[in-house]
Amino acid sequence: MDLVLLLQRIFDALFNSAIYSSLALALVIIFRSTGLLNFAQGEMATFTAYIAFVLLSGPQPRLTGGGLAGLVPGVPLPIPLAIVGAVICGMAGGAMTERALIRPLGRAPDLALVNITIGVLLATNSLMAQWWGTGPRIFPAVFPSGAGQHFSILGARLRYSTVGVWAILLGVLVLLILLLRHTRTGLAFRAVSISPSNAELVGVRVGTTLMYGWALASGFGALAACLSANSVLLEPNMMLRVLVYAFAAATLGGLDSPKGALIGGLIIGLSQTLIPAYVPFIGFELSVLPALLAMIAILLVRPAGLYGTRRIERV
């Protein structure tokens, strides 16, 4: 086995790993607090990537969709600002979704929550197709990614963009941990995650806290979408497949464990690149199959995943 090639493949995989980790983190934040798998997470994230795209391009009639036309700033924004704008829009959107669609349902059965997220998924997906077309758009690279823009380690190339994405992910993670450990909101969020009813009894405003959680999760989703839009090309279905990887990552790590999401994303990202490389039947296109099979296997054998809380069922 060619070790340099293997190292190269691992380096290449790390970029996707970071994307899956951050989307998995978004899923975990929501699952932990609401017990809901947000199937619409990917589409919500893609929508924010389109917002970033619009902010980047300035007001061009063919790019802006519907009601957004009047809101586009006159001057195209630089990439970092556009992404910050998209993340803020994503957070607002996430908070609004929780407030308008999830909270009024109260203690609804699983089915109702699934219906809401599927409804949002379908509506957002076709809204994007209508406003921006189904054709792929070229989203500029966030980090220098031309030829020669890489570190050389043992003969393999580690791209600047991979390092950059991981730096952003880890930076945001540190912020998240600080938020959870050292602020009142973070404390409230942890309380709500453990037991909403008990948290309510000691005076935590559960609804508002969950809204912050949704905002946070959608922020992670937006970040993931903006950072990956360059490599997967911006189109309405961009995150649909990424969502399977992210769900697989979250399941692998344990659906209620942020640490698990990070590790799960790493493993799924590596397997997505390495399995097609060494198993000829699984070409690049079918690389989503191992992720799905891994997800099913984990749900069957060890539903708590690597780091999740084990549930004890009384029969």
Partner 1 sequence: MNTDQRRFKRTPVIGTALIAAGLAVIPFMTSTTGLRQASQIVIGVLAVLGVNVATGYGGMISLGHGVFIGVGAFATGYYVDDLSLPWLAAIALGALTAALSGALVGLPALRIKGIHLALVTLGLAIVFQPLSKRFPKFTGGVSGTGIDALFLAPAWWPGDPRMATAVYRYLFCILVVALALWATWNLVNSRFGRSMRALRDNDTAAAVYGVDLITARVQTFAISAGLAGLCGALQVVLVPFVSQDKFAPQESLVIYATAVIGGLGTIWGSVLGVLARTFVGAAGKAAAGIDGFGFLGEFLDLLDEAAFVFGLGLVLLTFLFPRGLAGIGRRNEVAN
Q: Which residues sit at the interface with partner 1, rule CB under 8 A?
A: 36-37, 39, 65-67, 101, 104-105, 108-116, 118-127, 129-131, 240-241, 243-244, 247-248, 251, 281, 283, 285-286, 288-289, 291-292, 295-296, 299-300, 303, 315
CB nearer partner 1, residue 248 or residue 266: 248
Judged by CB, which is closer to partner 1: 225, or 250? 250
Q: Which is nearer to partner 1, 213 or 276 (CB)?
A: 276
The DSSP annotation for 50-80 comes to HHHHHHHH-S-TTTS-GGGGGGS-SSPPPHH
As a three-state string, the secondary structure of 131-146 is HHCCCCECCCCCCCCC
Shortest spacing between CB 163 and partner 1, in angstroms: 30
Shortest Cβ 151–partner 1 spacing (Å) = 33
Nearer to partner 1, 192 or 244 (CB): 244
Of 115 and 149, the one with the shorter C-beta distance to partner 1 is 115
At 152, phi and psi to the nearest 5?
Answer: -105, 120
3-class state of residue 151 by DSSP? strand
Return the number of the residue (87 or 244) whose C-beta is nearest partner 1. 244
223 vs 175: CA distance, rounded Å: 14
**Three-state DSSP class for 106?**
coil
Report how far residue 31's alpha carbon sits from residue 254's, in angstroms, rounded to the nearest whole number: 10
* Shortest distance (Å) from residue 32 CB to partner 1: 14
Q: Provide, rounded to whole angstroms, the least separation between the CB of residue 88 and partner 1.
A: 24
**Between 148 and 283, whose beta carbon lies closer to partner 1?**
283
Q: Could you tell me the smallest distance in angstroms from the CB atom of residue 295 to partner 1?
A: 6
Of the candidates 62, 236, 239, 66, the residue with the CA atom closest to the CA atom of residue 136: 236
Least separation in angstroms between CB 182 and partner 1: 32
Closer of 114 and 174 to partner 1 (Cβ): 114
Among 10, 9, 7, CA closest to 154: 7
Residue 260 burial by Cβ neighbours in a 10 Å radius (0-12, 13-18, 19+): buried
Minimal distance, residue 50 CB to partner 1, in Å: 15
Give the residues across from 159 on adjacent strands: 150
Which alpha helices (DSSP H) does 133-257 contain, by range?
A: 160-182, 184-194, 196-201, 206-232, 238-253
- Closest contact distance (angstroms) between CB of 292 and partner 1 is 4
Residues 56, 58: Cα–Cα separation, whole Å: 6
Cβ-contact 9, 274 below 8 angstroms: yes
